[in-house]
Structure 1
Amino acid sequence: MAEVVQVQKRDGSLGTAASRRLRKTGNVPAVLYGHKQGNEHLSISQKTIESILRHHSKIVELQGAVSETALVSDLQFDPLGIEVLHIDLQRVDMNEKVVVSVPIQFKGEPAGGKLGGIAIENAHEVEIECPAVAIPDSLRLVVTSVGLGDNRFASDLVLPENITLVTPGDTIVYHVEKPKGLKEDEEEGAEAEGDEA
């Protein structure tokens, strides 16, 4: 179910100074756009924004100054990546298809890791296209079979029905790097050497 978000209309003053003043009152500027309708300049409380972040909400039900279903399309953070400075909301119909970024959950310990390899998460999310009503919280990738020097690609993700991968399938999302100095014929003995260390 979409998270309910209370919004207020912003007064006529827009721009950087007005946005700064708004943030000092504990609110964050937002803009609602799309569906060939005019842009709505809104404000959302900082606490509500924190809830959206905590729940990784993609679709929200706007109430208050406007009543709309919207996609959280962009969050602009301060240079330290802590405070949300602005939020972009896109009007959606729950059955229309949208393109969104979804986090990847890596499950298991890679086989190559047990041989001294270094597991590297090359991508933490991928872009998908799906109906707004069917946006998943995350996509799982089981990595237990990833050996030394092996990769897993975006195309290895198992996608639920009605979901299409937008990120190129050959994008490496996970890799187990061989330790420096380990030669091909030494890989078999790497586990024993690791036990001695």
Structure 2
Amino acid sequence: MKEVEIRCFVRENIGKAESKRLRKQGFIPAVVYGPEIDNINISVSTDEFRSMLSEYGTSCIFTLNINDGKKTIPTIVKQIQRDYLGTDIIHLDFYRIYKDKEIHVSIPIVAVNRAKGEIEGGVLDQSMFSVEVSGLPVNVPPVLEVDVSNLEIGDNYTIGDLETPEGVKLLDSPDRVVFTVVPPKGMEIEEEVVAEEVEEEEAPAEGEEEGEKVEPSEESTT
């Protein structure tokens, strides 16, 4: 995981009124917690955090530079709380990590290249956009890129097909589907029509059982 440093300051006062005041001044109220550490209430620059979030996402180590270097703490973003519109960040949770201990994090899954099935008219459907993994922070990648170029129409790509760096374990079920190349609607209709035609051709005549020959009745021969 990439490591970035962000400045922050200890909050002496807490509560809704204080949090509202900080947000008006361009800061996000936050808290740091984790093993072997007491909770620390801090604030970070809204613009600085948004810039880092846009460039690196949450799949990186945020080293908190507290009070101009008086203390530094390596963390990962555990939770981002937004307002009711889902736009403004109103609170952050940072989780203290240790570089020599495994972490459990969620990392994005991104498709690269164009699937063979797409070229043939299909649509690449992505049903999972992130995956839970565990590993040492230095080994966990910021994103998992999947080359989908060999996927044909009707093919599935599952969690079990994902390739991870050495020392990184996938925690989600290997049977969960990540990508599917969905056939075009026209192809589905065509297949259904063909199936119906085959059924009609193979349907036995009335009174005839499969594998038996219909013999004329005595009435029909007189």
TM-score by length of 1: 0.86
Aligned to 2:65: 63
Matches within 5 A, 1:45-124: 45-54=45-54, 55-57=56-58, 58-65=60-67, 66-124=71-129
Q: What's the offset of the Cα at 1:128?
A: 0.8
- Aligned partners of 2:130 and 2:138: how far apart in 1? 19
Deviation at 1:47, TM superposition (A): 1.7
How far did residue 36 of structure 1 move?
3.5
Give, in angstroms, the shift of residue 56 of structure 1: 2.0
Structure of larger gyration radius: 2
Match of 1:138 among 143, 147, 151: 143
**Alpha-carbon distance between aligned partners in 1 of 2:24 and 2:139, rounded to the nearest angstrom:** 36
Q: Kindly indicate whether the alpha-carbon contact (under 8 Å) linking 1:141 and 1:156 is maintained by their aligned counterparts in 2.
A: no
SS of equivalent residue, structure 1 residue 182 = helix
Q: Give the distance between the partners of 2:152 and 2:22, measured in 1 at CA.
A: 52
2:51 aligned counterpart, secondary structure: helix
Looking at structure 2, the residues matched to 162 and 178 of structure 1 have their Cα atoms a distance apart, in angstroms, of 37
Task: Report % sequence identity.
Answer: 30
CA distance in 2, matches of 1:71, 1:183: 46
The CA deviation string for residues 56-85 of structure 1, in whole angstroms up to 9 with x for no partner, is 252111112342111111212223332211
Give how far 1:183 is off: 4.3
One-letter amino acid of the structure 1 residue matched with residue 64 of structure 2: L
Structure 1 120/79 Cα, relative in aligned 2: closer, same or farther at 3 Å?
farther
Aligned positions, number: 185
Deviation at 1:147, TM superposition (A): 1.3
Give the aligned CA root-mean-square deviation in angstroms.
Answer: 1.8
Partner of 2:170 in structure 1? 165
Structure 1 residue runs without a partner (length 5+) = 187-197
Deviations 1:145-174 (A, max 9, x none): 111121111111110011000121111111
Number of the residue aligned with 1:191:
none
1:182, CA displacement in angstroms? 1.6
SS of the residue corresponding to residue 19 of structure 2 reads helix
Cα deviation code 1:84-115 (max 9, x no counterpart): 11111111111211111111121111111122
* Equivalent AA in structure 2 for residue 10 of structure 1: R
* Residues 22-31 or 2-11, more deviating: 2-11
* Post-superposition offset of 1:133: 2.3
Which residue of the other structure, out of 178, 182, 185, is the alignment partner of 1:177?
182
